[in-house]
Amino acid sequence: MINILFEELPDAVEVSGKFYKISTDFRDWIAFFDMMSDNEIDQKQKMLTALAWFADEIPNNITGAYTALMDFASCSEIKKSPENQGKNNGNSGVPTLSWLYDSAYVLGAFRQVYGIDLIRTDYMHWWEFSALFEALPEETPMKKRIAYRQIKISDIKDKERRKQILKIKKAVAFPHEPISAEKTGEIFSF
């Protein structure tokens, strides 16, 4: 674990005992997570596409390279637990963050809290961005959206409160494509 307050942030990852330079700007890693969440790209293609995050040279050990990129993306060297990247603390696996759909709220939160204009910022290391994102106050609209998405409706006993939370959850839900009749049949077939 490193202390980001005084230790230099890495610009390379280690694969098979050798260090390889990688892209480190926050925009690159948001694009990385967008690519990884794209359901139209199969896992093998994601693994191969991820190699584009190597700056100069791609390691021969493709699996090791992919693992190193995933470790970097998780910011595990600066956090006690791996970055959940939108997962509900492992409880349900339901995404609670989308860099695509929440982008305006991320932009607004950084301006509101830190005075940082993410659009005009030339560069910010992914780990710095991630640390700042994690440290956003709970009262920011971005953090509230995540919190509402994490609420388990079944835990709410009061009927009126459950109705209110369901309405909020619907308002902050990610848009999704309509399910085809074929897919609906697969879901409900026994």
Residue 82 lies in a domain: no
Quote the CA–CA distance of 188 and 30 in Å, as a whole number: 35
pLDDT at 78: 86
Residue 66 lies in a domain: yes
Per the structure, the count of domains in the chain is 1
Quote the CA–CA distance of 172 and 149 in Å, as a whole number: 7
Residue 13 phi, psi dihedral angles, 5° rounding: -125, 155
Domain assignment of residue 63, given as a range: 12-74
Quote the CA–CA distance of 108 and 114 in Å, as a whole number: 10
pLDDT tens digits, one per residue of 116-163: 999 999 999 999 999 999 999 999 999 999 999 999 998 999 999 989
pLDDT above 60: residue 177:
no
pLDDT above 50: residue 185:
no
Q: Which of 135, 146, 142 is nearest to 94 (CA)?
A: 146
Residue 183 lies in a domain: no
Share above pLDDT 70 across residues of the chain, in percent, rounded to a whole number:
85
For 1, 6, 24, 45, 131, the CA distances from 27, given in Å and listed in that order, are: 24, 23, 8, 21, 15
Mean pLDDT of 100-106: 95
pLDDT at 82: 40
pLDDT at 88: 41
pLDDT at 181: 46
Residue 21 phi, psi dihedral angles, 5° rounding: -70, 145
pLDDT at 174: 85
Gyration radius from the chain CA atoms: 19
Prediction pTM value: 0.81
pLDDT tens digits, one per residue of 13-61: 999 999 999 999 999 999 999 999 888 999 999 999 999 999 999 999 9
Residue 46 lies in a domain: yes
Residue 52 lies in a domain: yes
DSSP state of 138: T
pLDDT at 92: 55
pLDDT at 128: 97
For 14, 28, 151, 172, the CA distances from 91, given in Å and listed in that order, are: 31, 28, 11, 19
Residue 28 lies in a domain: yes
